[in-house]
Structure 1
């Protein structure tokens, strides 16, 4: 049947992208955790958003980020906070703003003996309609405004982090593709022409879905959701592990994604490489190989949850065609 090799080739290619995405995502997560990328990005956004252009106020972002309530979200004093609960952030910001108001009252009293209006800048961006000094809004209203402002700021930071993640995933995937010669064009050719290899990969993919139907499927979706809402990596691991243990106590330990690489047509054939580079002889082969690497790296940027869902849908299509 014509559709059978077509669908099996698609399944084999998608499964390869899934395994590579899982591995490269794990590598990037390790790098991100070691370098505290989420915390650094949040810190940069807060320093930029809470910057006072008048020069009359202290470093508000520094005061908020080092507030005892905020610092309690991280275990290491040297690491930037990866996520701040909106309620905690609002409490800290309201308290810091009160300190700034007191500071400016004292400064104005020392200089002119009277109190003027708060300068435009951070308070205006926070939409604190305060009027004259000392005539502050009710704390509850100020807290609600601070929460709304913080959520919008986090949304922008999340967007920038997603873009940065895609860039790093592409670079990680490209490096992985070059080192292990994961050429997507070569993969399609091998999967299409080798029925026995196709059968092995499809069997591995089916086994992978069965093993991870309850644990890895949930873990992948949990990781994606956790990144969306900004849960720190350490907290994600604890909550995901506890949920997985509660919901899938009878699930066996799944095969490591790395173990599936040995059955895939990847790796270097040095004899063919030398043929590609020998004084321009068949240099087109090298060019096609580079295009294959770029396709592989681009596929990895979609992420493991995407390829996992696509693989499930293609298997359902395969079952429909078989019936």
Structure 2
């Protein structure tokens, strides 16, 4: 079999493994640093209070310092506060029904003379909120969602219809926010790819040269690649959205009981159920983190057994960069270029490299003579 094909398969395997490492690190960071919760808060503050967000990719980093009174009131509402562990941790997900009930309550409470008709109170409170915003921000455009809510309320025959329409708006808006989150993920993955490249000292030029010159290493890497191709679940299991699926499962199991408690007027029970749901989410995050770290450790150990040229060996690096006692700028440039190419490759994502790996493994197998040994 063509030696160049084996070199390509070996490099693809390495790209698959370390791009999986990049992906897992990004997911673990996002889950444990509340990126989703912060982005949810910021996106709602942008919609409800008109807070400017200059860089949507940075919405996960922290909460806006500007006043976001309506958003603050929304998160102080029992319907939302019950999702916050210890009333501190931001929820990473708010069900559309919870949002609709909470925002209606918050705005209805602003009515000058609240009565028994919550729909009328909502319209009155919304007008008060619009007046407050315009007074505080003369000449500034009204947050579009306030106009949207006013239109929805004007066309709603009853409170149930208003809740349904607000839920629909919320779901559509969250779809947009998901797109912003994906933009953040792309930027974060690139940074993590650089970090992983430097941490493991992965130089694509050094890898290619070593693999080409070491038939044993090449054979071992190709063997691992074939086993991975035969058992793709080893990789795909790490790339699926099991955590998101698990969160949705927990939500779907808990939400009917929460809705039932709300309808029966048992606010204390509803809050306990929401708190229990958030604790189960945190437990799921801990389990996810532990499993992913273990899986990544297993993958990297598999490659380390082959003794591929990664990691920091300062004596060897010093000899390469200062072969005659003075810096070799050509070698330094080649090292930097090797890191840059590697980081770029890792940021392209494991699914891309995994698909190529399987294709190349199949090409290699197609070139094997029936009943004969595979050439190396």
| TM-score for both structures, normalised by structure 2 | 0.65
Equivalent residues of 2:7, 2:208 under 8 A apart: yes
Where structure 1 has 5 or more consecutive residues not aligned to the other structure, the ranges are 107-114, 243-252
Question: Which residue of 19, 38, 41 maps to 1:40?
Answer: 38
Equivalent residues of 2:20, 2:238 under 8 A apart: no
- Residue 241 of structure 2 corresponds to 222
Query: Is 1:81 the equivalent of 2:91?
Result: yes
Where structure 2 has 5 or more consecutive residues not aligned to the other structure, the ranges are 52-66, 116-123, 131-141, 252-277, 289-294, 370-376
1:20-39 superposed matches below 5 A: 20-39=18-37
Question: Which residue of 268, 282, 294 maps to 2:312?
Answer: 268
Query: Is 1:259 the equivalent of 2:259?
Result: no
1:93-108 superposed matches below 5 A: 93-100=103-110, 102-103=111-112
- Residue 118 of structure 2 corresponds to none
**Aligned counterparts of 1:165 and 1:29: Cα–Cα separation in 2:** 9
- Residue 146 of structure 1 corresponds to 166
Query: Is 1:284 the equivalent of 2:339?
Result: no
**Aligned counterparts of 2:8 and 2:213: Cα–Cα separation in 1:** 13
Quick one: structure 1 residues 156 and 188, their matched pair in 2 at CA, closer, same or farther if it must change by over 3 Å? farther
| TM-score for both structures, normalised by structure 1 | 0.74
1:1-323 superposed matches below 5 A: 1-2=1-2, 5-51=3-49, 59-100=69-110, 102-103=111-112, 118=127, 119=130, 121=143, 122-126=145-149, 128-131=151-154, 137-210=157-230, 213-214=232-233, 216-223=235-242, 226=245, 235=281, 238=284, 256-262=298-304, 263=306, 264-278=308-322, 281-322=327-368
Equivalent residues of 2:108, 2:125 under 8 A apart: no
**Aligned counterparts of 1:277 and 1:31: Cα–Cα separation in 2:** 35
Equivalent residues of 1:28, 1:169 under 8 A apart: yes
CA RMSD of aligned residues (A): 4.0
**Aligned counterparts of 2:125 and 2:89: Cα–Cα separation in 1:** 39
**Aligned counterparts of 1:224 and 1:308: Cα–Cα separation in 2:** 21
